[in-house]
Amino acid sequence: MAGEGDEACLKCHSDKAALEKARQDPAKDIGRLLVDKDLYGRSVHASRGCAECHDGFDKHPHPKKAESVSCADCHEDEAKALGKSVHGKAPEGRRAPTCSDCHGTHDVLKATDPASRLYPLNVHMACGSCHFEDDPATLDRDAMLLEKYVGDEHGHGLVKSGLVVSATCVACHGGHEIAAKDDPESPVSRRNVDQVCAKCHVGAARDYRRSVHHLRSTGDEHKGATCTDCHAPHRIRKANDDFRLESVKSCSRCHDQRSATYGQTYHGKIASLGTAAGYGNNRVATCGACHDNHAILPGSDPGSKVHPRNIVATCGKCHEGAHAEFATYMVHADPRDGERYPKVNLIYVVMNTLLIGTLIVGGLHALLWLVRSLAAGEWRRRAHAPGQRHVRRWRRRYVTFHIWMMTSVLTLAMTGLPLHYSDRRWSRAVMGFLGGPAVAGTIHRIAAVSLVLLFVAFVGDLARRILVRREKGLLAPENSMLPRWKDVADLWGNLKWFLFLAPRPRYDRWTYWEKFDFWAAFWGLFVIGVSGLMLWFPVEATRFVPGWFINAAIVVHGIEALLDIAFIFTVHVFHANLRPDKFPIDTMFLTGRMPESEFRHDRPVEYERLRDAGKLEEIYASEPARRSRIAAYVIGTIALLVGFFFVAAMIVAVIDGP
């Protein structure tokens, strides 16, 4: 309790009204002169008299001015530590904190007292009086620290849950001896921070200290990753799915090459999209899933999760039934590295050559056609003449087949391209629109199955017409999709027409570019289908093929998909819709019919053959209804816009690079 002389002091200094009267100036701040009797009675200084600290105030009435005793007179060691700390000198533009800023004045309580400023539940507010400000104009990096801390796991446990065992500012930074983080003696320096974290996280610290990250540390220099490299100070997050996805970025800061190859895998792409779009996926393997989180050991260490004797079990955590051959899949293989991965690199080179070569040849063919067709004035032929006779070019089921294929391909492009270009902003936006990578993956597989069913339906219909109905003429040269010499002659004739050296060739029922599209669809379905099936069921696939086939399947599936999408929405779309004599939309894809005049101009050989045989009447059809033509324009325009968007996105991605 206070001494007898203190009663006289407290008589005034615990009475706000008496103080105001004594000061005779209500505008003066007397808050610092007020003393709470109860708090003072509980304080660590309660046994001392007022005059022991306020020297020269031992008489009443006391003088107006007198020097108070420094805290250092009693707390010499603490004062020395404070003088050497970051609090020992004033930061630029700010005053240095004093003892009373952290401990209080007349309410200096033990740290175990819930009312103490340094009680675990209160200490963040004591620090926050300097390291947090409400005025955005004065908000600096240090001032932001408290706001971040309150929102992280340590702060949440303390402030929201009231867990006094949560890490406080003092627990990590120390008390009077607080040093800058780049000071080797600081508890939170790279050399020491793992020891600070180990005070609470004993198990994690034990694992970390035998990992490659800790073992790289030598002497005063810490070369390996430490706690704060992965767990951002004052922004400590719960180790949930979102954190695991974000952790890839932490690893990539040091392991940039490994991160790049990981990003090319299905795991890496999903992790990137899941993080960006806000859709976590707990089935996606991040770095820690294979290498562990804290006990990260070299691959040659028998205790490592990626050691040959452990790798099957590691893969088996996610891939049920994983076996030795499946585990030979090369997670960090770079298909561009021909020296280390020659087989995968060869496939990469072949597929890219096919991609570039096909697009160059097809694009050049389309460009030459456009120039020659414009010069010939063929765009004038597209004027619609109501009332003229039409001919049926496609049976109803083939119109259905085409719509079926168009819908499947667009769906596959919309769900697959964002995965291929997972590091692009537009990819993340599309994934967000679709509901996240998991939903998009399900839609992608449904569309793939749909395309396979289309192939089965088409081949089945063809077999029925040939074997059951025995349609005559279906396999005749003029009706067959098999290549013939006329296709070579038409190609040569077109080249001469492009160069103004000959008139336009006279085409029959099927042209060489249509046959190319037809067989390219079968090729694409086979290549994408087989590689996609391997990627869908990798464990089962590697029971029949080596593990590196999965790496090859990734390359083949991705590049073939790019080729198909780019070719369809440039070369194919040009020949089918954007040629001057077809522009802007050839409605036949939905109506199955075309004007007789267009038929006569476009396929003169077939027209004359049917006319001479008296079979034109068999293919005459009524003019498509207006609503059917409108529907064709609407559906076609939407499909073209979606396709053009993806082609443009692919071009930008190629220009920008990874």
pLDDT tens digits, 144-193: 556 667 778 888 888 778 888 888 888 888 888 888 888 888 888 888 88
Range among 78-87, 168-177, 285-294, 502-511 with highest mean pLDDT value: 502-511
The predicted model gives 408-437 an average pLDDT of 90
Give CA 122 to chain center in angstroms: 39
Q: Domain spans of the chain?
A: 4-65, 99-230, 241-317
Q: Report whether pLDDT(578) > 80.
A: yes
pLDDT at 277: 52
Task: Please identify which residue in the block is written with the tokens 């443009």.
Answer: 648
CA dist list (Å): 3 to 61, 73, 102, 177, 538 = 17, 20, 26, 34, 83
Q: What is the DSSP letter of 589?
A: H
Q: Which of 348-362, 369-383, 639-653 has the highest mean pLDDT?
A: 348-362
pTM: 0.80
The confidence band for 107, taking pLDDT boundaries of 50, 70 and 90, is confident
CB 150 within 8 A of CB 159: yes
| Whether the predicted pLDDT of 245 surpasses 90 | no
Residue 40's φ and ψ, nearest 5 degrees, are -65, -35
Q: Name every residue whose Cβ is closer than 8 Å to that of residue 462 and which is 6 or more positions away in sequence.
A: none
Output the CA angle 305-311-312, nearest 5 degrees: 135
The pLDDT assigned to 428 comes to 86
SS3 621: strand
Q: What is the pLDDT of residue 120?
A: 87
Q: What are phi and psi for residue 594, nearest 5 degrees?
A: -145, 155
Work out the average pLDDT over 578-600: 90
CA distance linking residue 549 with residue 160, whole number of Å: 52
pLDDT at residue 643 in the model: 92
pLDDT at 2 over 50: no
- Mean pLDDT within 278-296: 78
| 302 contacts: CB under 8 Å, gap ≥ 6 | 309, 310
Tell me how far apart the alpha carbons of residues 100 and 122 are, in angstroms, rounded to a whole number. 15
Whether residue 428 contacts residue 481, with contact meaning beta carbons closer than 8 Å, is answered with no
Angle separating helix axes 241-252 and 256-263, nearest 10 degrees: 130
Segment 514-549, tens digit of pLDDT? 999 999 999 999 999 999 999 999 999 999 999 999
pLDDT of 1 reads 39
Handedness of CA 338, 340, 342, 343 (dihedral sign): negative
**CA 350 to chain centroid:** 29
Contact by Cβ (8 Å): 324, 312: yes
What is the chain's mean pLDDT, rounded? Answer: 85
**Residue 418, strand partner residues:** none
Residues 6+ apart with CB under 8 A from 185: 179, 192
Q: How confident is the model at residue 100 (pLDDT cuts 50, 70, 90)?
A: confident
pLDDT score, position 380: 64
**396 pLDDT more than 50:** yes
Tokens representing 605 are 């050989």
Residue 321: Cβ within 10 Å count: 10
Q: Where are the alpha helices (DSSP H) in 310-436?
A: 311-316, 342-375, 396-420, 425-434
Segment 305-344, tens digit of pLDDT: 999 999 999 999 989 999 999 999 999 999 999 999 999 9
AA identity, residue 109 = L
Residue 26 scores a pLDDT above 80: no
> Does position 423 have pLDDT exceeding 80, yes or no?
yes
Residue 440 has phi, psi (to 5 degrees) of -60, -40
Structure-token pair, residue 177: 């001896």
* CA–CA separation, 567 and 251 (whole Å): 38
